[in-house]
């Protein structure tokens, strides 16, 4: 089955700096890669996603890049703000028909004012 590795597990940055979180996946048939943000005590919420036919996608301060050959994808957050502090999860959806999402283990991002 699919295996998703996520690094780093914790990341601390100063407000205004950029943050990068990286993930690798194992199943070359995976075709959908979402990123979820989970604030403390809250539910995970989708912040951006990318499909395997696209190499990069941007939405204001967040961007995701995908390298299918290397089987890795990354989340980039620019001009970080304290409200960006949360746990971020990457995920990969396998190429089978069961639409199963396999999540990485999460990155705790802390943005220091």
Q: Which residues bind other proteins (CB under 8 A)?
A: 32, 34, 38, 42-46, 49, 51, 87, 89, 93, 98-103, 105-106
Tokens of 70: 């290397």
Residue 49 Cβ, how far from other proteins at the closest point, in Å? 7
Tokens of 96: 């089978």
The residue among 18 and 105 lying less far from other proteins, judged by its C-beta, is: 105
CA–CA gap between residue 111 and residue 57 (Å, rounded):
23
CB 91 within 8 A of CB 25: no
CA–CA gap between residue 24 and residue 71 (Å, rounded):
6
The residue among 58 and 105 lying less far from other proteins, judged by its C-beta, is: 105
Residue 97 Cβ, how far from other proteins at the closest point, in Å? 8
The residue among 19 and 88 lying less far from other proteins, judged by its C-beta, is: 88
Residue 16 Cβ, how far from other proteins at the closest point, in Å? 26
Beta-ladder partners of 34: 49
């Amino acid at each position: 089955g699919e295996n998703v590795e996520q690094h780093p597990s914790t990341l601390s940055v100063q407000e205004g700096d950029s943050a990068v979180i990286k993930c690798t996946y194992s199943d070359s048939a995976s075709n959908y890669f979402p990123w979820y943000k989970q604030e403390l005590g809250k539910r995970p919420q989708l912040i951006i996603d990318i499909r395997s036919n696209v190499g990069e996608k941007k939405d204001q301060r967040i961007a995701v890049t995908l390298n299918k050959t290397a089987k890795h994808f990354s989340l980039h957050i620019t001009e970080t703000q304290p409200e960006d502090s949360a746990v971020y999860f990457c995920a990969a959806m396998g190429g089978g028909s069961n639409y199963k999402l396999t999540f990485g283990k999460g990155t705790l991002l802390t943005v220091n004012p």
